[in-house]
A and B are shown apart, each in its own frame.
Chain A
Amino acid sequence: MNKRRKLTDKLMTILPILSVLITILPLISISVYLVYKGVQYLNVQFLTELPKPVGQPGGGMANSIVGSGIVVGLAGLIGVPIAVLAGIYLAEYGRKTKLAAVVRFFADVLQGVPSIVIGIVAYAVVVIPMGSFSAVAGAAALAMMLIPFLTRTTEEALLTVPQDVKEAGLALGQPQWRVVLGIVLRSARGPIMTGVMLGIARIAGETAPLLFTALNNRFWHNGLNGPISTLTVQIYNYAISPFTDWNGQAWSGALVLVLLVTGLNILVRTLARSRYSERS
């Protein structure tokens, strides 16, 4: 190898290392700001009180935190059963059918649809007929985002269950639905739960689909048929507001959001390592 080639080789292998450093930089910056700015307004009041009107110091995001929990929980209640059943169809009943191939294709493609588009569709489908922005509409929008992702995750999880365990169930004279629910789903519950939590964490961070569905609310929500505050929308509103106090609270809200989502992730990873999930 001549000198020039050697030099080029050295130089060019430095570039990837440089890319890694540049990529990590924003992550470090975001983390530092999130913690540094986030703790400034984070206190008991922030977690337990409603927002104060402009100009009055203090107040919190209690309603937004609870609201996010409600909307995301509701979305899970709608989305998880549908997605798991659809995944069961793809992995167990449909498997090689044309229909399953089409469903698979669109489930993949739907994951790339911009969330704001899902938001205005949910507005047209739920908000207009109901005549009001609502927690239900927000949950519907989030469920629409959750279903395609979770359907595919469930399918892949079910496909990892060995054939002979299913056959063992059938060989005991059990109907297929009992084998699917009692054995197959149970065998795959670790990866399915991980998928559910990843999906929930993902939709918990969504803002755009909620802007015109759940809207926002400066007070406690009044039932599921009315507008409800969510953490993400509240962070957005406070972030673009001209008031320093609110800007600061936006950071605290962001910190709470990240902690909740991360906490959820850790919780699930611990639960997923459950007693029966490993095969020797």
Chain B
Amino acid sequence: MGIATKDLWVYYDDFAALKSISISIDSKAITALIGPSGCGKSTFLRTLNRMNDSIDGVTVQGDVLINGSNIYGEEINTIALRKTVGMVFQRPNPFPMSIIDNITWALKFHGVKRRRDREEIAAESLKRVGLWDEVSHRLKDPAFALSGGQQQRLCIARAIALQPEIILMDEPTSALDPVAARVVEELLISLKEDYTVILVSHNMEQAARVSDYTAFFLMGELIEHSPTDQLFANPKDNRTEDYITGRFG
């Protein structure tokens, strides 16, 4: 069980966004991906649920193994894959529906036929992200009425309602105010009990605070991947050191 890539290359047309990435990511832990913008960390994240499929000109070479199967293999259904691998985006992006429907909408397709069951799962998920007390009395309100931080937690609830194994997070706090970001961060830490979390972060302190492992990307290459305290206290590579001490990026 887990995520591993072997000699992974990703191209945007002729430009190599990821160069020969081989990495093995631990389960039930938070792995932070850091690096200057354009280093390929988001691209890497998006290859893990094949989110790049719909973008023109993207080619993927090499293996991405999740639970032992190559997710770029022929018999893989992206729909099944994305149920296993959830995703949370940079900007909170609730659907134009009520709070409760935001969660139940996807469940319907995944075979939860009875409405009561869907609403029960939604309630569980909202409790899991600590939103239940704030919204239980207004579940039918439009999701856009929530604050930014609440919206982002709703998006997390939406993802975990499908019971994924892995949750990909693309800078989930960068659009939030510091207080809301703090709440989401604490939620993140609690999520690793049940999920494998991969977190792209633009913020090194955040990476240091919440993650168990950190991977440093630079210009499409994976420079270093170690336990977080080790990487920040004792980087093996000079380039990592330069980055974390703020000498560039």
Contacts and interface: CB of A to CB of B under 8 A. Distances in A.
A173 B87 contact: no
Interface string B61-87: 000000000000000001111110011
Contact of B82 (A164, A173, A280): A173
Contacts of B110: 173
A172 B159 contact: yes
B109 A280 contact: no
B53 to A, nearest CB: 9
A202 interface: no
B95 interface: yes
A173 to B, nearest CB: 4
A175 B95 contact: no
30 contacts: A96-B56, A165-B95, A168-B95, A168-B155, A168-B158, A170-B54, A170-B78, A170-B82, A171-B86, A171-B87, A172-B83, A172-B86, A172-B158, A173-B106, A173-B109, A173-B110, A174-B79, A174-B106, A175-B109, A186-B96, A186-B97, A187-B96, A275-B142, A276-B96, A276-B142, A277-B96, A278-B144, A279-B96, A279-B144, A280-B151
A202 to B, nearest CB: 27
A174 B96 CA distance: 16
Interface in A171-186: 171-175, 178, 182-183, 186
A167 interface: yes
Contacts of A168: 87, 89, 93, 95, 155, 158
Interface of A: 96, 162, 164-165, 167-175, 178, 182-183, 186-187, 189, 275-280
Given A172-B86, A174-B106, A183-B96, 4 more contacts: A167-B51, A173-B81, A187-B95, A187-B96
Given A164-B91, A167-B89, A186-B95, A172 B142 contact: no
B93 A173 contact: no
A2 to B, nearest CB: 58
Interface string B201-216: 0000000000000000
B162 interface: yes
A171 to B, nearest CB: 4
Nearest to A280: B144
A171 B49 contact: yes
Contacts of B90: 164
B18 to A, nearest CB: 19
Contacts of A175: 79, 109
B12 interface: no
B51 A172 contact: no
Contacts, number: 80
A131 B106 CA distance: 50
B51 A171 contact: yes
Contacts of B98: 276
A170 B51 contact: yes
Given A164-B90, A175-B109, A276-B142, A169 B95 contact: yes
A173 B162 contact: yes
Contacts of A275: 142
A276 B110 CA distance: 24
Interface in B144-179: 144-145, 148, 151, 155, 158-159, 162
Interface centre among A174, A186, A187 (most CB of B within 10 A): A174
Given A276-B144, A279-B144, A172 B93 contact: no
A276 B87 CA distance: 23
Contacts of A167: 51, 54, 87, 89, 93
A183 B159 CA distance: 16
Given A171-B51, A173-B80, A174-B109, A165 B159 contact: no
A164 B97 contact: no
Interface centre among B81, B93, B142 (most CB of A within 10 A): B93
A169 B158 CA distance: 10
A279 B92 CA distance: 10
Interface string B32-54: 00000000000000000101001
A278 to B, nearest CB: 6
Contact of B83 (A162, A173, A280): A173
Nearest to B170: A164
Contact of B109 (A164, A178, A187, A189): A178
B151 to A, nearest CB: 8
B173 to A, nearest CB: 16
Contacts of A174: 79, 106, 109
A239 B96 CA distance: 48
A1 B132 CA distance: 73
A52 B97 CA distance: 52
Contacts of A277: 96
Nearest to A166: B54
A173 B79 contact: yes
Contacts of A173: 78-83, 106, 109-110, 162
A164 B91 CA distance: 8
